[in-house]
Amino acid sequence: MCNEFAETLVRRYGWIFVGITVQLITFTPLAAQIVLFHPWLSYDTERHYLLLVAPFHLSVLSIWINYILGCRTSPGHVPLDYTPVSGKPRWCKECSCYKPPRSHHCSICNKCVLKMDHHCPWLNNCIGQNNHAYFLRFIGSVTVASLYGSFLIALRIWEIVQYQNDLRAYYRGDWDTPLRFSPPLSGFQIVTMFIVIIIFFLLLLTVGILYVWQLFYLYDNTTTIENSENSTIESLKKRNIIPEDKVFPYDLGWYNNFQQMFGNYWFLWWLPFGSYGNGIDYPKRPGTEHYSWPPREYYLYKKYPYGKPSKQERKEEKRRRKDNHIRRGSEGYLVKQLTAEEREQLVTGKSNEIDDDQSEDASSTDYDSLEESEEFDTDEEVLQETQTRMGKKIK
Task: Render 279-343 in DSSP notation, one character per residue.
Answer: SS-----TT-TTS-SS-HHHHHHHH-TT-PPPHHHHHHHHHHHHHT--EE-TTS-EE----HHHH
184-188, 223-227, 324-328, 345-349: least confident range:
324-328
Q: What pLDDT score was predicted for residue 291?
A: 81
36-40, 173-177, 292-296: least confident range:
173-177
Beta strands in 23-75 (DSSP E): none
Q: What pLDDT score was predicted for residue 305?
A: 80
- Provide the pLDDT confidence category of residue 258 given band limits of 50, 70 and 90: very high
Pairing, β 125-127 against β 118-120 = antiparallel
Q: What pLDDT score was predicted for residue 123?
A: 93
| Number of Cβ atoms within 10 Å of the Cβ of 75 | 27
Average pLDDT over residues 176-181: 71
Q: Which residues pair with 118 in a beta bridge?
A: 127
- Provide the pLDDT confidence category of residue 294 given band limits of 50, 70 and 90: confident
